Chains A and B, each alone.
Chain A
Amino acid sequence: MPRLLFSSGVEFRDSQREQQQFKVRLAVMSFFMLLMFAVLLARFVYLQVMQHNHYHTLAEANRISIVPATPGRGVITDRNGIELAYNYTGHTLEITPNKVGDVDAVIDSLSEIVEISPRDRRRFRQLLEESKSFEGLPIRSRLSDEEIARFAARRYRFPGVEIKARLFRHYPQGDLFSHVIGYIGRINRKDLDRLEENDELANYRGTDYIGKMGLEQSYERILHGTTGVDQVEIDSSGRAVRMLSRTAPVSGANLVLKIDARLQALAFKAFGSRRGALVALDPETGGVLAFVSKPGFDPNLFVDGIDPQSWNELRNSPDRPMLNRALAGTYPPGSTFKPFMALAALTYGKRTAQQGISDPGYFWMGNHQFRDDAVGGHGWVDMHKSIVVSCDTYYYVLANDLGIDSISKFMSQLGFGSRSGIDLTGEATGTLPSKEWKKKRFNRDWFAGETVSVAIGQGYNAYTPLQLASATATLANDGIMFRPHVVDYIQDVRTKTQTSVEPKPLRNLEWNPEHIATIKKALVGVNREGTGASAFVGAEYVSGGKTGTAQVIAIKQGEKYVESRVQERFRDHALFIAYAPADKPKIALALIVENSGFGAKAAAPIARQMIDYYLLGKEPSATDAAREASP
């Protein structure tokens, strides 16, 4: 039946021929197919044998991700173990901008779940401008457990928004230590460039923050530690599947300071609302006992990235809270310069202790009259009395005999006008006037009259409180000068081994002991019967000191400075230097209270409180504190 369909004789013959032709064609196609399979086989051999190593490497690179393991940052404590900077784990809410569409809309809907303040928004906007869009940027930090739970329940609505556990830096002492500890902030372009230059970029993979100021900056390398490496197997979406190997990070070392936080707090409080700076040193080591710059700022503001408004407030405040006055503020030393001037005169043989002048209360040079504070003069003034009563005329005359060259040579050996080398960054050099300096600075020749101003610590003189403190400590230590240092020792977190910041004697000025004795006796006289006496009434130790008053504006010829008539900002600065106990000094300090008038009244009482506390452990009485706070 079916076969009848195909049974035409003619067709059968044709189909014979056609069948033959078909078999030829089939053979051609068979050859074609074998050839194509041979091509495939050749490709497989090429990929899997010849190029196998290459593709093996690619596959490994695909699956293995090198993830940095961030080390914990070192903790900073004072000499008694009081924490000044530490880390805690907190939860942040982070937005990856390129994974969300409309960032503002996302923030709006997030604010229905967690609290997002205008400050958070401003800060985020700032970060957004500074960062790459594929980085997770924090919109909120320090989420509460409740907020974490609320977000977790609705996270499906927020692709590209994640909760991350991160280490946060906290400065529990707030503005008290702002100018010592400084702060850390997010690594910016400039930091990256510097890291690259120092070949440290690899060690900062996974680190978001870096020291920006203070010890956080100067000890960055020690505090940061060494970043570890995790080899993690990842899938195509970058999720970690399992850990293949791990090189643990090495935590940053802890810093233990010489500073006594309580002494620091006492000084800070003693300044009250006044601006100023105080540096207290251990004369025998150069260790910093207190380091105050008023006003301070809250370093915690910077940790998550400061919002523009807070930043502008800090930057535009007339009190300049961001200025580290102790380190980078430069002031004329006023009369605190006199003991060093006197020592220069003795050292260079221009005066003996006994030589004196009869002080009429003024000094004529050419047709210019230099006045003394005491109308009618101090009478007969020798070196001892010149310091005790702070007689200007004595130094006017001395300036003439010493000359600017000798003055600047002697003062530069004491560290005036050059960086002390303290372990903080941003130190100012100040200005130690000399003929060369004036030529370079103003392209003018030196006038003899200018030497007269320099001799009483006015004129071009401009030094940091740190330089003044260092010079005082050097004098207290009989001419052996140490490099000031804030950090006492560095403590390895794992091994607990301590590496001391060794006291480093910079130089021995090799002063004649008799000369030193003369000056020290006069400084003791200041606090016993001279300008510092009222502040040191009833002290249970013997101390040396010197008051100073630095002019902010020049007083015209024939005019007298009357404090009440001068605007607050142009009032004189009050200065005081001191050390104690006199026979074997344990503390030397210098301080300045801006626009507060006479050193004896405004500055010396702060020094008294400091020394009382440091030597005797005495806290200032409530009435004392109240009196000092309101000058």
Chain B
Amino acid sequence: MIAYYLRRFARLFTDHIDGPLLGAVLLLMSVGLAVLYSASNAGWARVSGQMINMLVALTVMWVIANVPPHFLMRLAWPVFVVGLILLIAVAFKGEVINGARRWLNVGVTRIQPSELMKIAAPLMLAWYFHRYEGTLRTHNFVLGAIMLLVPVGLIARQPDLGTAVLILASGCYVLFLAGLSWKIIVGLGVVGLASAPIAWSMMHGYQRQRILTLINPMEDPLGAGYHTIQSTIAVGSGGLTGKGWMSGTQTHLDFIPERTTDFIFAVFSEEFGLLGNIILLALFLLVILRGLVIAAHAPTLFTRLLAGAITLTFFTYAFVNMGMVSGILPVVGVPLPMISYGGTSLVSLCLGMGILMSIQTHRKLVHT
């Protein structure tokens, strides 16, 4: 009897948890803690802080995993509308920090509404396409695109190009997975290429500088190019097997800027080398593949689109971050998923993981 209740009690925690996904996430988090310990020069403060972040994030994941997808669906448009209102409020009354208007002071604390949009935008689009499932026409896609471009435009104006591009990407994934016709995709691609010069002319000076810096970082080695040069040196000097944990000279002599957050991959890569990078890529692939499987088996369009978008967004974060650190993408403020220090990013990522788990585990319930 006791064993039965214990099992019942245990199932309360495990019922809606996806084993493979949790395993991959925990592995990534463990790697993250090890790298963070080195990146913060054996400082326990950051590591213990990150552990608390992880506990919070995992709790959020567990809670969301227990929320059935249809409940999430009901939340989709209210969350999106609230996010949009907040973004508009930021545009008018936001606080300027480091030259960008990103923060909104809500009395108790400051919030960054663009973070909310990262989940709200794909959620909204998935809900919208699900609502018109079976009768999807071009005008639905046009409307979906508008729903996406409004918040993206507001965020790009803050200016926060990195977040804008990421939200744009997550929305586009939904559009693509929902069946946007290939003709339109090719057409947009052509238009996009043609309008690149216009986009260039509308960019802020520092945004242009980031792109120019990517092409030739040595043009401004102590200014805009410094991050890229130092992180590329860190990655390259890591070699095949790395300099060893806690032994990266670029890391420990303070040459890598923001080495616990956006540039933590430089630390990992310097200390663990190409072999470490391959293992890390494999761990990310594990999460992505599991996400794809969940998406492929999801019962409804909403869950399919949402699971697909979350997985692809996760991939995008990892790819953009590693591409930026290794010098093939411009420097944008994107953390390395599950590895970079920072609570916000961890929580929003685990929220996504929780949604994936919810989709996976509630699917079983639907069929039984």
Contact = CB atoms under 8 A, between A and B. Distances in A.
Interface residues of A, number: 45
Given A10-B134, A22-B177, A47-B232, A62 B255 contact: yes
Interface stretch (A26-34, A428-436, A559-567): A26-34
Contacts of B230: 62, 236
Interface stretch (A11-19, A101-109, A183-191, A408-416): A11-19
Interface in B306-321: 308, 312, 315, 319
Contact of B133 (A14, A39, A40, A59): A14
Contact of B304 (A5, A22, A51, A234): A22
B233 A5 contact: no
Contacts, number: 140
B232 A234 contact: no
A364 interface: no
Contacts of A51: 236
A11 B134 contact: yes
Contacts of A59: 233-234, 236-237, 249-250
Which one of A26, A30, A43, A48 has the greatest number of beta carbons of chain B within 10 Å? A48
A58 B218 CA distance: 13
Contacts of B177: 22, 25-26, 29
Nearest to A39: B328
B240 A49 contact: yes
B134 A15 contact: yes
Contact of A18 (B179, B233, B236, B274): B179
Contacts of B134: 10-11, 14-15, 18
Contact of B274 (A23, A30, A44, A60): A44
Contacts of A11: 133-134
Interface in B199-249: 230, 232-240, 249
A243 interface: no
B331 interface: no
Contacts of B284: 37
B10 to A, nearest CB: 25
B117 to A, nearest CB: 22
B254 A2 contact: no
Contacts of B326: 40, 43-44, 47
B235 A55 contact: yes
B312 A5 contact: no
B179 A26 contact: no
Contacts of A3: 366
Which one of B68, B277, B285 has the greatest number of beta carbons of chain A within 10 Å? B277
A235 interface: yes
A26 B254 CA distance: 42
Nearest to A10: B134
Interface in A232-270: 233-237, 241
A18 B249 CA distance: 53
A37 B286 CA distance: 13
A44 B277 contact: yes
A54 B272 CA distance: 18
Contacts of A358: none
B318 to A, nearest CB: 9
Given A18-B301, A44-B274, A37 B319 contact: yes
A15 B278 contact: no
A45 interface: yes
Contact of A47 (B235, B285, B312): B235
A62 B250 contact: yes
Interface in A353-409: none
Given A44-B326, A47-B326, A33 B312 contact: yes
B295 interface: yes
A2 B68 contact: yes
Contacts of B234: 59
Nearest to B270: A59
A105 to B, nearest CB: 27
| Top 5 A-B pairs, shortest CB-CB distance | A55-B236, A14-B134, A59-B237, A47-B236, A235-B253
Given A15-B300, A44-B278, 6 more contacts: A18-B133, A22-B177, A40-B281, A47-B232, A52-B237, A55-B233
25 contacts: A2-B366, A11-B133, A18-B179, A22-B179, A22-B304, A25-B179, A25-B308, A26-B177, A29-B173, A29-B312, A33-B315, A37-B281, A40-B322, A41-B278, A44-B269, A44-B326, A47-B232, A48-B240, A55-B236, A59-B234, A62-B230, A62-B253, A236-B254, A236-B255, A241-B253
